[in-house]
Structure 1
Amino acid sequence: MTMPTRFDGTKDRVAVVVPGVGYSPARPLLHFARSVLLQHGWTVQELWWQIPDQFAQFTVDERIAWVERQVTEAVEAEDGACRLVVGKSLASLACGITADRDIPAAWLTPVLTLDHVATALRRATQATLLIGGSADTLWDTHLAASLHHDVLEIPAADHSLELTGDTAGSVDVLRHVVSRLDHFIASLTH
């Protein structure tokens, strides 16, 4: 079940913000992504999904289908106004949706180790930002560098884009990520 939350800006320019498994839109990366979008005049639709209890037993294909269904419903609910998807981790299983619909996307810690995600990112032609950490086991440095997208890799950052044992450094990483998101979103606005 997906529970959308809307923050209104420009009605014809909607960004859909999609969480990870345990990373809701209230967590720092997505919270500040929403703030940046609002500053640039976007309407923001946040997905607050409830991962099914049996999700851990889903096959990879079942997980992809579940995520794609959630994201497709959110995009279609905007009646053609969805112009950007910002997603964290699990959300990147919907890369094929943005690629097929020519929607720009910003993927925070995308699951680059899945062929489905890598293949979708290869065919994406719209502006795409990939942000990951070199200490994230789901990030693939070489794949990210080989794609024709905007890439920000944070040295030593984990899957939450944090630095283990370095709180102040993690705040600096967050600042850097938010700045890069701001630049990316501004480039879509002009």
Structure 2
Amino acid sequence: MSAPAALGLPTRFDGDPDRVALVIPGTGYSPARPLLHFAGSVLQRHGWTVQELWWQLPSGFVDFAMDQRIAWVERQVADAVDAERGACRLLVGKSLGCFAAGLAADRHLAAAWLTPVLTLDHVTRALHRASAPTLLIGGSADRMWDRAVADSTGHQVLELPAADHGLELPHDPIGSVDTLREVVARLDGFIGSLTPGDGPTPS
């Protein structure tokens, strides 16, 4: 179900072949949009290979049962991770992408989840059992974000005051750019702190 990037844009940026990061979109938030675009730029700055995942949601996806949505996302992400033959060590996902948090926990993959759906038990349970370095970023005005739940996972947390599900400030484009700068700076610190040992445990 993967789809190519619009306008023939590259979807892979080569760096260290043994450190691949998978950038995972949201429902309508592609890797070309600001949060994921700059996440990819930070990864490249730190020498990672960046593989963007682009997808076309199945017809009627919003009407799928939740377990079907989760299974669909997990399948897309698992296929992309498996294609890297053990070199994928980090997932960076927006919203819907965090439905793969269970896969990250199972495979001991580091992760940065942007606006994770913390109102969904599947996601919160996965985050609680994840042992690899994990960063959660959300906005206080996002109804799918819960700061208390985020803190309870024991992972790194960044909350942006008054930011919505896009991590933007409504009717405040200048403030939204400042918010984006804060997110990118935090991602830079998190990604820079990862070591070669932060990744899948050998089988």
TM-score range, shorter chain: over 0.9
Q: Pairwise mapping of residues 42-121 of structure 1 onto structure 2 (< 5 A)? A: 42-121=48-127
Q: Which runs of 5+ in 2 are unaligned?
A: 5-10, 197-203
Q: Distance in 2 between matches of 1:33 and 1:116?
A: 25
TM superposition score normalised by structure 1: 0.98
Provide Cα deviations, 1:123-172, integer angstroms capped at 9, x if missing partner. 00000000000000000111011111000000100000000111110000
1:127 is matched with which residue: 104, 128, 133?
133
Q: Distance in 2 between matches of 1:189 and 1:162?
A: 31
SS at 2:85's partner residue?
coil
Cα shift at 1:3: 3.7
Identity across the alignment (%): 69
Give the structure 2 partner of residue 24 of structure 1.
Answer: 30
Q: Distance in 2 between matches of 1:3 and 1:35?
A: 21
Give the structure 1 partner of residue 199 of structure 2.
Answer: none
Stretch moving more, 141-150 or 75-84: 141-150
Give the structure 2 partner of residue 10 of structure 1.
Answer: 16
1:152 is matched with which residue: 155, 158, 174?
158
SS at 2:90's partner residue?
strand
The structure richer in strand per residue is 1
Q: Distance in 2 between matches of 1:42 and 1:127?
A: 16
TM superposition score normalised by structure 2: 0.92
Cα shift at 1:54: 1.3
Query: Is residue 2:170 matched to residue 1:184?
Result: no
Q: Runs of at least 4 residues of structure 1 off by over 3 A?
A: none
Q: Distance in 1 between matches of 2:147 and 2:114?
A: 14
Q: Distance in 2 between matches of 1:13 and 1:146?
A: 29
Cα shift at 1:189: 4.1
Q: Distance in 2 between matches of 1:159 and 1:171?
A: 15
Q: How well do the aligned residues superpose, as a CA RMSD in angstroms?
A: 0.9
Give the structure 2 partner of residue 172 of structure 1.
Answer: 178
Q: Distance in 2 between matches of 1:40 and 1:30?
A: 15
